[in-house]
Amino acid sequence: MKAIKNIKIDQIRFTVPINESSLKDTDEPNVIKAIDRYFKFKLLFDKPLKKPTGKNGYTNSILWGASEQGGLISVMYNPTRADMGVLIDFTATGKYLYESLCQLNGIDVNWRKIITVIYQRFKGHATRIDIAIDLINKGYSVTSIYEKLKSGEYVFINPIKQRINFNRIQYIGRSDEINTIYVGSRYSDVYLRIYNKKIEQMDNKGIYHTLAINCHDWVRIEGEFKNKECHKIGAMVSTLAEDNIEPYLASYVNKHWKLVFNND
């Protein structure tokens, strides 16, 4: 199997405004119909599962793909808080399922165009984007990366060209085998995870299980961007004229966590 480098959006979340100034408890915002039409949810999925629950202050959920392979796309709103807008949440599995069903139905999925429509037509924005960089059969090891960070051979540089202190770096695994490296806090707007995707997929029998079995090594670098940092990425993508957004996505990861040799 040849060496592969792949860059993509792993999961994504949007918020779009509600036009109504107020809603009854039983009302759904009109924009939900427009969202359904644009994403073709009713064409691709069976009837959604509706729940009087939500998260992050949202109280009502419309769940698409809930019964198909565990995939999940959530559309949430709170009728008493129209100012919160409507949340559209594609989990990583839900996004993969959506893309697969679109392909089966001959529907093109272009995330640059989707993000542009959210920003320009719906006047919304992205509230979370996870950018994944997969290094397959490149000879990288999470354990080796961690050991070189610990020894000081490698350092991470942040956007203001300062070193990220080693005490900001955590890991999961044994001393002789590190499976995951974390940089920063999960509760911050930017958060990095470097992990052994091959082991993760094989242990969990994930959607890329076959690829994991057939590759020699697979390291995933995953930057999680929320709130203002995420807004910036979405706004930038929405102004691009070309569909190849991967270099721009990778540049944001590199901007926040540039891994370099320590020359001291």
Q: How far apart are CA 151 and CA 75, in angstroms?
A: 46
Q: Give the span between the Cα atoms of 10 and 157, in whole angstroms.
A: 24
| Mean per-residue pLDDT pooled into runs of 10, the chain (264 residues) | 93 97 90 98 92 94 74 91 97 94 97 98 98 98 97 97 97 91 96 98 93 97 97 97 95 97 82
Q: How far apart are CA 61 and CA 86, in angstroms?
A: 10
Where along the chain do its domains lie? Answer: 18-123, 133-261
What span, in angstroms and rounded, lies between the C-alpha atoms of 140 and 198?
12
Q: What is the per-residue pLDDT for 70? A: 46
Residue-wise pLDDT for 214-240, tens only, equals 999 999 999 999 999 999 999 999 999
Other CB atoms closer than 10 Å to residue 87's CB: what's the count?
23
What are the residues whose beta carbons fall under 8 Å from the beta carbon of 7, sequence distance 6 or more? 131, 132, 133, 134, 246, 247, 249, 250
Residue 89's alpha-carbon distances to 7, 70, 120, 121, 138, in angstroms, are 20, 14, 19, 18, 32
